[in-house]
Homo-oligomer: A and B are copies of this chain.
Amino acid sequence: MTARSPLAPRSQPRLPALSGVRLAVCETGIKYKNRPDLMVALLDPGTTIAGVLTRSRTRSAPVDLCAENLKTGSARAIIVNAGNANAFTGRHGIKTVATTVKAAAKAFDCKPDEVFVASTGVIGEPLDPGAIVGAFAALGAEAGPGRWRDAAAAIMTTDTFPKSATATAKIGSRTVTINGIAKGSGMIAPDMATMLSFIFTDAALPPGILQKLLSRAAATSFNAITVDSDTSTSDTVLLCATGARKDRLQNLRSPGDARLKSFTKALNQVMRELAHLVVRDGEGAEKLISITVKGAASEPAARRIGMAIANSPLVKTAIAGEDANWGRIVMAVGKSGEEANRDKLSIWIGGQRVARGGMADPKYREAQITKHMRSREIDIIVDVGVGKSSFTVWTCDLTHRYIEINADYRS
């Protein structure tokens, strides 16, 4: 295990037990030694589920399975292994998933289409289901409500710290809880940016509404981050609602229903917190970078400009070098292909305007920005001067450590 990221939070929140969810972990020895690498989440009958999956054209067999089973909107078990992604493993990989699902349905007394599988780790190596299904009996017996910390740790690969977040919300007169865990460090890019995240609530919500709430929250959290522009074959976010905290909501038809306001806010908060934790654990990351693009022609345009800046190796290395090299930000705006007015472009770093009206701000003093560039959290705002839309994305810097991790590690 490599050293904990310098951007890791000081402490991990303590997630409360969540009625309707039981968790268990164990060591399979498939790739890692002396650490849990298999996690199961067992869900009470009646649990609804929604998901957001990678848009990769070479997605893994487990992602295919999730896409298929999400159609039912119902979940009883989630099986997650770390160390082998079961991606690009052909017929063998499909069979491994089928065997896992069949055994899980039997062990956990549910239907096969209520079982979800996620795998993360090396691509292209066959994954034998033996060690996984062999553990189900013990996992089923051990599963308990309070093992969130173990669950978050068991799904890690190159992560340097476990990632979890929690919030409460009001639905009607009931207080409901949202607990989430995530993993991800490299191969983190737009279009489902995290590798894996599992979020649970004891609220009672129909799968259609759940899906819309999840997709919307993903757009400004997991889909607004990038570490290295590389989209994983295995990205999976699942949101489960156990319904243990039954509310009295009648005729809930739209995710925009005022009665869901508190829940939506809490869900957005949990997902954004998890997404930021993934960036904070970006491979080699030493700085968390927030990039807000405003004055864009549309929100998608603002997002694409933001991502062009966030994915630029020249911008990321300049920030690693603590150099306020805003010329590279201008370059990245230009390469995005989106509408921008070169002669109205303004840029702020750490709240100080460095460029305006298409050239360096004459009042800008580099010494004042140097202090900001030396801090752990870098704040960039770019006004592209053509419209009124804005979007914020988050990324990390590109350091020697990223090269070390990825030139030496077969992941």
Contact = CB atoms under 8 A, between A and B. Distances in A.
Interface of A: 54-59, 85, 87-93, 122-126, 186-187, 189, 191, 228-233, 311-314, 317-318, 320-321, 323, 325-328, 330-340, 342-343, 345, 355, 357-360, 398-400, 402-404, 406-408, 410-411
A126 B331 CA distance: 16
A250 B404 CA distance: 61
A335 B189 contact: yes
Nearest to A384: B57
A334 B187 contact: no
Contact of A187 (B122, B187, B331): B331
A360 B400 CA distance: 31
Contacts of A85: 327
B334 A56 contact: yes
A59 B334 contact: yes
Given A321-B407, A334-B57, A399-B403, A87 B327 contact: yes
B59 A314 contact: no
Nearest to A339: B57
A359 B186 contact: no
B57 A342 contact: yes
A307 to B, nearest CB: 12
B124 A326 contact: yes
B58 A88 contact: no
Nearest to A399: B403
A401 to B, nearest CB: 9
Given A332-B230, A334-B231, A410 B58 contact: no
Nearest to A189: B335
Contacts of A408: 321, 323
A314 B92 contact: no
A332 B331 CA distance: 24
A345 B191 CA distance: 22
A255 to B, nearest CB: 27
Given A88-B327, A189-B335, 20 more contacts: A56-B331, A57-B336, A59-B342, A88-B342, A88-B360, A90-B343, A90-B359, A123-B328, A124-B326, A124-B330, A187-B331, A228-B313, A230-B313, A231-B334, A233-B334, A313-B406, A317-B403, A318-B407, A321-B407, A321-B408
Contacts of A54: 334
Contact of A57 (B228, B328, B337, B360): B337
Contacts of A357: 90
B360 A124 contact: yes
A228 B314 contact: yes
A88 B124 contact: no
A359 to B, nearest CB: 3
Interface centre among A57, A59, A332 (most CB of B within 10 A): A57
A345 B58 contact: yes
Nearest to A332: B230
A120 to B, nearest CB: 12
Contacts of A404: 400
Interface centre among A85, A228, A312, A342 (most CB of B within 10 A): A342
Interface centre among A56, A90, A186, A335 (most CB of B within 10 A): A335
Contacts of A92: 359
B359 A229 contact: no
A406 B318 contact: yes
Contacts of A330: 58, 87-88, 123-124, 233
